[in-house]
Structure 1
Amino acid sequence: MAEPKAIFLDMDGTILDHYNRVSQNTKEIIDRLRAKGIYVFIATGRGKDEIYTTTPEGFAVDGVISSNGMTGYLGDKKLFQHTLPVDLINRVIEKARQQRVYYELFPTSGPCQAEQQDRAMLLEAVVGPKPDTVGINEWIEREEAIHGGIVFVDRIEGEAFSKFYCFSKEQNKMVEWGRTLEQLKQDIPFSTSSSSKHNIEIMVAEKNKATGIQSFLDALNLTSDQILAIGDSFNDLQMFELAGQTVAMQNAPDEIKAITDEVTEYSCDEEGVYHYLNDRFFVR
């Protein structure tokens, strides 16, 4: 395959191991690629403020697409920002409260929020042992969120919110929540995405990682066939459909591996992205 002009990297399950850390080797291979003249970008479901808490000192990329394409920064410049309608925010919180569904609401900048009256409900969702079907990284994130990551407010106010993250230990509960959201879409348009069977994320309609990447390509005068995308999950599907070169992680579901050009030899816990990039671009 031709050498790409830009590389877009997912985070969870890709450059992050299952304990939510980016390795020093991964940081250094990104540095070498950028020195070589290849743009390297993050394209993640995480909120912007969640990214650099997971990385080694000095970690740097050329830009960040966060919240599954809701915000985009090319260097320090904000390239785009999409926000959820206020009515949708209120309706989702009301229905989550009725169905006792764990939620986090992400502003375009700053920590995630939830309403104070829902604190006990959210805590209930992460009490007890981790179910076998919940990934350790997702469980750790929820424990960290409930014990200090979430800012609890008397009432959600303002308009600059980019996405909801919803979670349940019970897969059946997420299925039912998905049905509720599909009904709500008939009144207010929005999009949803899942990275596991235990979560659903709610975002602005018709916006995703791929629409964010396209904004970057337009700004840099690049075409989709000039980029490489690496990811591991279903919220990477649109990104894979857009990119000219695609790589799935060894730890990705079989359905994801089946649609990409390549699969890494190693998993995210074995620095799979580092090994793939090093072998492809620097080992002769």
Structure 2
Amino acid sequence: MDSQAIILDLDGTTLTSKKTVNPLLVEYLQTLRKRGLLVLIATGRTIFEIRKILPKEFKVDGIVASNGMNIFDATKQIIKKDIPSNTVQQLINQSIEFGIHHEIYHQDGTVTAMKTPFQSETTKLKLHNFRKYIKWTSSIYTNNVEKIVFFDDHTDLVANWFENLKEMQRDLEFSAALSSSHLIDVNGAGASKATGTTLLLSKLNIAFENVMAFGDGGNDIPLFKKVGKSIAMRNARKEVQLHADEISKYTNDENGLYHHLHQLFH
């Protein structure tokens, strides 16, 4: 295929499990950009998280943030969406009743959470690094919300809550994706990496058939179904690997993305 762009997931793909980027990968991506290949990011993370976690040398040509709620080209924001306030209110109320942890991400970069009877348990979580800068509130802050995450170390609890969310989608406007076995991303109705990337590629005048996508999570599957070639990371869940055209030889902690790109574009 004649690749014009690559789309990279962050967590579990571009980032190591320690949330760092291998310098070799950063350097090689910039080499590919100089050759004319566009480097795009599609992630569940907000733009504020992306800017904090990626080194300044990591230049890209477009970003699909919060699973398509906010979209940026190389110079400016081109799409901005919110989750309806009533939806946020009902989701948080029912999640607290269910007994699962949550974080609410707002468009200005703040992260809030409603105080819960099980709030103290957040300090013991191992699989999700609960935000130290979170603002605990006595009422639910529902305005200007781009993302909600639900999470717990007990993956069966997460899976059961995900099934509940599917039922709730009959009455409420939102999308939900099992980002990992312990974390669920919730965004606005119809939002996904695939829909967000569709808008970005249209702006860039690039067809999906000329694009490769790399990822490891459930929120990558809709994108895998649209691109010319999809590559799942070695560390991805089996379900994700089954939807990919190829699987990387190495994991994200073994610089798997760099090695696979080097194999494809050397």
TM over 0.5: yes
CA distance in 2, matches of 1:14, 1:196: 12
Sequence identity of aligned pairs in percent?
30
CA distance in 2, matches of 1:92, 1:258: 31
Letter matched to residue 80 of structure 2 = Q
Letter matched to residue 118 of structure 2 = M
Residue of structure 2 equivalent to 1:107: 106
Give the CA deviation at 1:254.
2.4
Alignment of 1:11 with 2:10, yes or no, is yes
Give the CA deviation at 1:172.
2.8
Alignment of 1:262 with 2:261, yes or no, is no
Give the CA deviation at 1:23.
1.3
User: Is contact 1:47–1:109 with CA below 8 Å preserved after alignment?
Assistant: no
User: Is contact 2:84–2:173 with CA below 8 Å preserved after alignment?
Assistant: no
Residue of structure 2 equivalent to 1:279: 263
Picking from 105, 108, 119, the partner of 1:122 is 119
Distance 1:153-1:217 versus aligned 2 partners, 3 A rule: same
Per the alignment, in what secondary structure is the counterpart of residue 86 of structure 2?
A: helix
CA distance in 1, matches of 2:233, 2:149: 23
Give the CA deviation at 1:75.
1.6
Give the CA deviation at 1:34.
0.9
Give the CA deviation at 1:6.
0.9
Q: Please provide the CA RMSD for this pair.
A: 1.8
**Alignment TM-score, normalising by the size of structure 2:** 0.93
CA distance in 1, matches of 2:2, 2:201: 16
Residue of structure 2 equivalent to 1:203: 187
Mapping of residues 61-140 of structure 1, within 5 Å: 61-115=60-114, 117-118=115-116, 121-127=118-124, 130=126, 138-139=127-128
Give the CA deviation at 1:238.
0.6
Mapping of residues 148-167 of structure 1, within 5 Å: 148-157=132-141, 159-167=143-151
Mapping of residues 184-203 of structure 1, within 5 Å: 184-203=168-187
Give the CA deviation at 1:26.
1.3
Give the CA deviation at 1:154.
4.5
Per the alignment, in what secondary structure is the counterpart of residue 67 of structure 2?
A: coil
Give the CA deviation at 1:158.
5.6
Worse overlay, 162-171 or 8-17: 162-171
Unaligned 5+ runs, structure 1: 131-137
User: Is contact 2:17–2:253 with CA below 8 Å preserved after alignment?
Assistant: yes
CA distance in 1, matches of 2:263, 2:163: 44
CA distance in 2, matches of 1:87, 1:179: 20
Give the CA deviation at 1:10.
0.2
Give the CA deviation at 1:68.
1.3
Per the alignment, in what secondary structure is the counterpart of residue 242 of structure 1?
A: coil
Per the alignment, in what secondary structure is the counterpart of residue 78 of structure 2?
A: strand
CA distance in 1, matches of 2:248, 2:235: 9
Letter matched to residue 98 of structure 2 = Q
CA distance in 1, matches of 2:243, 2:163: 27
Per the alignment, in what secondary structure is the counterpart of residue 65 of structure 1?
A: strand
User: Is contact 2:101–2:151 with CA below 8 Å preserved after alignment?
Assistant: yes
Give the CA deviation at 1:111.
3.3
Residue of structure 1 equivalent to 2:213: 229
User: Is contact 1:48–1:109 with CA below 8 Å preserved after alignment?
Assistant: no
